[in-house]
A and B are shown apart, each in its own frame.
Chain A
Amino acid sequence: MDAYILSLTIFVAINVALALSLNLISGFCGQISLGHAAFYGTGAYVSAILSVSGVPFAVSFVAGGIAAGILGFLVGLASLRVREDFLAITTMGVNFLFVGFVRKQGWLGGEIGITAIPKPMSDAGMATLAWILVAATAFLLVAIRRSWLGTGFTMIAQDEQAATSLGLNVGRFKLAAFVMGTAAAGMAGVIYAHVAQLIVPDAFGFVVSISILAMVVVGGIGSIFGVILGAVLLTLLPELARFANDYKLLIFGALMVAVMLISPGGLAGAFQRLRAR
């Protein structure tokens, strides 16, 4: 396969995994997060530091996921105290804190980032790993949706007080959503770091968080199929049309506004309406 196509396949998979993992937190459990790139970056940086130090990739991979999950747990604790727009601002702040922190750390490479990250396998192998992560994340989301865990998430998303009065341990369920979603984002970050072999702080900035959110919103918040579609389309769009790459943020923003006005359920909602006709 052409090297460009192969690398594009990997980045599509990474974005699909990121969008699905955010969908778990924001779509399923209703906890708005504007800082998902911080968890993506945590996985990338932790695994890169370990791999550069000679630690086997398998250990780096797991450690990246665990580190992102731990940060997710801490941010999840904030979700127990603040809600909705206040949570959105808090998570946005976490993203700025992450980038600001990483930038000033000499041992993390500062502005230059971490270079010469060893590639553990061929591009084809990395692509396979990336799509295995997508499949595992999608499988997890399907399993959650069918389980009492998914029911609990939906109850929290729709009315937290009613859920609590029915005996749902809202705090634990929210933390579970944050830990699972952020750990998956961290694993996506591990793959990114080892494919790019170079990471810089800006690769995990607020703009990236908003791009991931755009994929979820355009695909359809809460829909597994829709979010996969949204992530694939929004990753390929800038690659297919050069002008789209130049105006990527403008187009993503316009798409989000259009979706909110025309089809709040995103592509998934539009498909459902078409099928119902």
Chain B
Amino acid sequence: MDLLKTTSLSRSFGGVAAVRNVTLAVKDRELLSVIGPNGAGKTTLLKLITGQIPPDTGRIELFGRDVTAVPQYARAQMGIALTHQIVRPFRGMTLGENVTAAMGHGHFNQPVASLFHRPGAADTARARELLDLVGIGHAAGRSASEVPLGYLKRMQIARVLATDPKLLLLDEPLAGLNYSEAGQIADLIVRLNEGGRTVVLIEHNLGEVLRISHRVAVLDNGALLAEGLPAEVIARPDVRAAYLGKEAG
């Protein structure tokens, strides 16, 4: 079953086509990586899927339902979660509070009703568990405005896990991390996927992408250039040319 499906999705910014006619399907429990050179349209594609920006044309289906016109918050409530390429912590909170805040996702649609429910010890404990899962439980009390980037990247993953998503969209979660940290986060992504979550990963770290992905899709100049098994896709001359320049082909 396709958990996510885009059909002929296009989006331009001021005459520049960022995403062109992209048709892509992601199966339940799949770990799909979307790769491509800088400016290929990967982040724009994720923004279209989450609903942060609307497409010019095309259709997005989530869990078999057309969500093209569904607002971003409602798609998130359906079980789609995004970690941002440029980290977006709530900087006035601690790492623990950031994750605890997301535990309230069941109360995020009705403000009046949410007045009568409050975060409890169970939420704080679950947030701590999730921070432990991503390896930074010891830093739960530290302010999000003073910890290193690697901590914020991990916190973002813990925070979206607090919403119990079915589909994880991870936008360059390994960027800015050292070799060891990147390997740990990649292993965590595999564990989350094996735990039943479908993952769409955007990542420049090709070594990790090839190691952990079930399938790879390549974007170039906003269009889908190739998709298939990682080793097969990366061996294609047109993919290598897109990444390394025409002479590589």
Could you list which residues of chain A lie within 8 angstroms of chain B, going by C-beta atoms?
Answer: 143-144, 146-149, 151-152, 154-155, 157-159, 161-162, 164-170, 172-173, 175-176
Contact = CB atoms under 8 A, between A and B. Distances in A.
Interface in B48-96: 50, 52, 72-74, 76-77, 81-82, 84, 88-93
Nearest to B88: A162
B29 interface: no
Given A161-B52, A162-B90, A166-B108, A151 B101 contact: yes
Interface of A is mostly: helix
A167 B163 contact: yes
A148 B76 contact: no
Nearest to A177: B111
B167 to A, nearest CB: 13
A155 to B, nearest CB: 6
Interface centre among A146, A162, A165 (most CB of B within 10 A): A165
Contacts of A166: 76, 81, 101-102, 105, 108, 159-160, 163
Interface of B: 50, 52, 72-74, 76-77, 81-82, 84, 88-93, 100-102, 104-105, 107-112, 114-119, 159-160, 163
Nearest to B162: A166
Contacts of B114: 147-149, 152
30 contacts: A146-B118, A147-B117, A148-B108, A151-B100, A151-B104, A151-B119, A152-B104, A154-B92, A154-B93, A155-B101, A158-B90, A158-B93, A161-B88, A162-B88, A164-B72, A165-B50, A165-B72, A166-B76, A166-B159, A167-B73, A167-B76, A167-B77, A167-B105, A167-B108, A169-B74, A169-B109, A169-B110, A172-B111, A173-B111, A175-B111
Contacts of A173: 111
Closest 6 CB pairs of A and B: A167-B76, A176-B111, A148-B107, A162-B88, A148-B114, A148-B104
A169 B106 CA distance: 11
Contact of A149 (B50, B93, B100, B115): B115
Given A152-B111, A158-B91, A165 B76 contact: yes
Given A164-B73, A167-B73, 20 more contacts: A147-B118, A148-B104, A152-B104, A158-B92, A161-B88, A162-B88, A165-B72, A165-B82, A166-B76, A166-B159, A166-B163, A167-B77, A167-B108, A168-B105, A169-B73, A169-B108, A172-B110, A172-B111, A173-B111, A176-B111
A169 to B, nearest CB: 5
Contacts of B84: 162, 165
Contacts of A159: 88-91
A121 B104 CA distance: 45
A237 B88 CA distance: 42
Nearest to A158: B90
Contacts of B102: 166
Nearest to A175: B111
B101 A147 contact: no
Contacts of A155: 90, 101
Contacts of A175: 111
Contacts of A152: 104, 107-108, 111, 114
A144 B115 contact: yes
B74 to A, nearest CB: 8
B199 to A, nearest CB: 16
Nearest to B156: A162
Interface centre among B74, B102, B109 (most CB of A within 10 A): B102
A147 B115 CA distance: 5
A172 B81 CA distance: 20
Nearest to B105: A167
B112 A176 contact: yes
A149 B113 CA distance: 8
Contacts of A170: 73
Contacts of A147: 114-118
Nearest to B116: A147
Contacts of B50: 165
A63 B89 CA distance: 41
Contacts of B108: 148, 152, 166-169
Contacts of A165: 50, 52, 72, 76, 81-82, 84, 88
B194 to A, nearest CB: 24
A159 B93 CA distance: 11
A168 B112 contact: no
A102 to B, nearest CB: 31
A148 B117 contact: yes
A80 to B, nearest CB: 11
Contact of A164 (B76, B89, B112, B159): B76
